[in-house]
Amino acid sequence: MSATADTTHALRRLASLDDASIELAEAALALAARELPGVQPGRYLDHLAELANDIGAAFAASPGGLSGKRDALASVIHDAFGYTGDQQSYDDLQNANLMRVIDRRKGLPISLGILHIHCGRQLGWDICGLNFPGHFLIRIEEGPERLILDPFAGAEVIDVARLRKLLKATLGEDAELAPTHYAPASNRDTLIRLQNNRKVRLIKADQISDALKAVEDMLLFAPGEDSLWHEAGLLNAHLGNLRAALVALGQCRDLSGSPVDRARVDQLIAEISSRLN
């Protein structure tokens, strides 16, 4: 079996798993391997194990508590191994590929966040990504206490004032914090968000075929997401793959729970169908 077939199988397998059973970093490595055929994940998995082991040792030597967990993450991932947010070439596609992030020791908030989440979970910590717009953040909890951290900035603690500033920078000055901004992001949604970073950059670079491939990779592990089928339909239509566009939009319509959305998709289907006649 080829490496591409291996990753296809691995990603399709995720579609049948409940969200809690998805190993986030391993899935991200499978996505990364789609862009780096022939590169084996073994040494990357070994590196993740080394990170988690060293973080566990650092925490064991700390006073404990949430601050000890934060300090252990920062001292190992950022200080000892030199991971940092890529501010100079933020839009580089490599920043959304976990293999290249590990190679280069820099990446996007979400790719760095996946490293933190994986290591914390390996140690049994209560840690997750947040459904925060624009800038991926992570949260660690212990009993009633919690800390929100920025993996792009050395696991810096983010207080409410900083959260509000980040939100307004993304959504505008009228935006205000709401409970949804503190909600945990599911593993599947985190993988979609990681891959969306790649898709958006490819579309901006007018690499539509590659952007479509990124969406198709997401559909391997999230085939129930109507929005992904919608994107696949639009990208196929843009490329002139009209029959593939109709198939994708038909899937979108079948999955949509909104009559308004279904009507909009029906209109798109009609418009594309007219181009076939």
Q: How far is the CA of 212 from the CAs of 124, 190, 207, in angstroms?
A: 37, 19, 9
Chain center to CA of 218 = 10
Mean pLDDT by 10 residues, the chain (277 residues): 76 96 97 92 96 98 96 98 96 97 98 98 97 95 95 96 93 92 95 97 97 98 97 98 98 94 96 89
User: What sign for the dihedral angle of Cα 104, 29, 121, 58?
Assistant: negative
Q: pTM to 2 decimals?
A: 0.94
- The values of phi and psi at residue 241, to 5°, are -85, 75
Task: List CB contacts of 264: < 8 A, sequence separation 6 or more.
Answer: none
Give burial (CB, 10 Å; 0-12/13-18/19+) of 60. Answer: exposed
Tokens standing for 263? Answer: 């009507």
CA atoms within 13 A on the CB side of 108: 23
3-182: which CATH number, 3.10.620, 3.30.310, 3.40.630, 3.40.50?
A: 3.10.620
Model pLDDT, residue 118: 98
Query: What count of residues does the chain have?
Result: 277
| Of 111, 126, 141, nearest in space to 27 by CA | 111
Model pLDDT, residue 130: 96
Domains of the chain by residue range:
3-182, 224-276
| Nearest-5° Cα angle at 137, 70 to 171 | 150
Whether the Cβ atoms of residue 134 and residue 169 lie closer than 8 Å to each other: yes
Tokens standing for 42? Answer: 């073994």
Model pLDDT, residue 1: 44
- Residue that is written with structure tokens 């291996």 in the block: 6
Task: List CB contacts of 127: < 8 A, sequence separation 6 or more.
Answer: 116, 117, 120, 121, 138, 139, 140, 141
Element (H or E) spanning 147, and its range? strand 145-150
